[in-house]
Amino acid sequence: MQQEQAEAIAIDALSFIASDPDLLPRFLALTGIEARHIRKAAGEPGFLAGVLQFVLAHEPTLMAFCEKTAIPPRQVEAAHRALPLGEEGWDIQP
């Protein structure tokens, strides 16, 4: 998966989290990020991988996201691995 596609999936996931009144407070508490700093944090290496890690860590959240976006769970996993800090060595060329 290309990094651009992975970023798009992660941004969809962030939008999904932000629109859910139960998920957003949990995400903020786990990440330690204040809601007003999310936009700035999104530009930091590893943030988008962290968003997908949050979604992947809770199967009901993953399934709700996949149902809403029609993105298969395996594609969410692949996106996580394609992002900086989603998998060690992500930027090493084969």
- The pLDDT tens digits for 42-88 are 778 789 999 999 999 999 999 999 999 999 999 999 999 998 875 54
Domain boundaries, the chain: 3-82
Task: Please report the DSSP string for 50-67 in residue order.
Answer: HHHHHHHTSHHHHHHHHH
Read off the pLDDT band of 33 (50, 70, 90): confident
Own/partner pairs, 29-34, CB within 8 angstroms, 24+ separation? 30/54
pTM (2 d.p.):
0.84
Read off the pLDDT band of 14 (50, 70, 90): very high
- Helices 23-31 and 3-18, interaxial angle, to 10°? 120
